[in-house]
Amino acid sequence: MKYSTYPLEQSLGMNYYATDTRGIGGILRSTPQDFIVEELPVKFTGTGPYLIAKLTKTSWEHQHAMREIAKRLAISPKRLGWGGTKDRNAVTTQYISLYDVTEDDLAKVSLKDIVLEPVTHHQFNLGLGNLEGNRFAITLRNCDSEGLAERTAAITADILTSGIPNYYGIQRFGALKPVTHRVGLHILRGEYEEAVKIYVGDAFPHESDEVKAARTAFAETGDAKAALHDLPAKLSYERIMLDSLAKHPGEYGCALQAMPPKLLSMFVSAYQSWLFNMALSARCAAGVSLSDANAGEHLIFANDRIDTVTEKNLPTTRQHMKRGRCAVAAWMPGATLPVTPGPLEEEMFALMEKDGVSMQSFANASAFTGTNFDGAHRKIVLRTEVSSEIAGTDVTLRFVLPPGHYATTVCREYMQGSAEQMV
């Protein structure tokens, strides 16, 4: 494995590459058409109160698109459901559920760069994870031409044989403003003022001087009305918080709860993702192969059965892993803990203790956000079949990933560039 030298990746726990081959460089998302995502849907029931529509959008932030669709339909956004949150700077196709909406209603929705097509009906609302996976076609532009074919092939071979660390990608933490996990930490600690001031008040290098000045002024003064006047309309989520604060000064918890519920919950989920990334990188630093296991770690099988590795069953475990029957998985901490903590969980609990976070913190955050944070198992290794096509200095990668896995995690293994090149 090779250590990442990029401070941003290190801060997000994305410390290692699986391959020792030099990256091919390149730029991701030169245009939205360079990042194409096609959702693989679950089987629908064919009848029920939910209309299933295929949504194709270009360069739309996910939550913004859902709010606009609901607005055009004159319904609450709560009547929309989806299986996965898709990238903004991309062309994405996915399926959404709409409660008590007809095909005629849907036909009246007209939004630039959005196409909605009725598909069928379903008995249930779609929730996060209700999809079979995603198919990707991603083009990396202006790659390093020296030995491009050989390096691409070598990286592909590494991914196919040993797999790569199954990191949560940078967009999980905010592609251009990676602070969601820090906001989530303060929500978990009940520090709502600090959470708002990070989200609204932290300035970033890529932003205009006007935006930086407005953010800095808010961080220093807490003047919501002035910040609301100075921040541009495109920063819609910041403005939602500020509008609430302007109407209810000092009510920082209310400002957070003014956010779309699913976005609010993602702050806390991002902290869980950060814990996972950090624990996985600590395991990589210890030199343990992704294809091997330690006593005390947990295994997840194809049927989602969980088992624990012991010194006694370690030889059998290694045979199962070699044959692709199971993989090491970590339980991301939440309000519950259904397994005995192993090395990965102990690493995460140590980070939580340092941060002043407990399992009760997740229960409190559940009450605050209206979302359960019970935790979940996640494989530490990502494996997929990747095909590559090279045209000059451009490389197109095609692959399929299960729900909750990040295409940018695959792309970073090829590129090995700064995170800014992947947003």
Among residues 90, 116, 115, which one has the least CA distance to residue 37? Answer: 90
DSSP result, 366-407: HHHHT-----EEEESEE----EEEEETTEEEEEEEE-TT--H
Cα separation, 394 vs 120, whole angstroms: 39
Q: Given 20, 34, 87, 230, which residue is catalytic? A: 87
Among residues 388, 389, 387, 390, which one has the least CA distance to residue 145? Answer: 390
Radius of gyration of the chain (CA): 22
Cα separation, 167 vs 12, whole angstroms: 9
Q: What are phi and psi of 258, to 5 degrees?
A: -75, -15
Cα separation, 360 vs 358, whole angstroms: 5
SS3 259: coil
Any idea what the Cα angle at residue 221 is, between residues 218 and 227, rounded to 5°? 35
DSSP result, 274-290: HHHHHHHHHHHHTT--T
Do residues 168 and 297 make contact, with C-beta atoms less than 8 angstroms apart? no
DSSP result, 9-23: HHHTT--EES--SPP
Of how many residues is the chain composed?
423
Which H or E run includes 326? strand 326-332
Query: Would residue 374 show up in a list of annotated catalytic residues for this protein?
Result: no
Among residues 285, 325, 280, 86, which one has the least CA distance to residue 166? Answer: 280
Among residues 185, 10, 42, 222, which one has the least CA distance to residue 119? Answer: 42
Cα separation, 218 vs 235, whole angstroms: 14
DSSP result, 57-98: EES--HHHHHHHHHHHHTS-GGGEEES-PPPSSSEEEEEEEE
Report, as residue numbers or ranges, the catalytic residues: 87
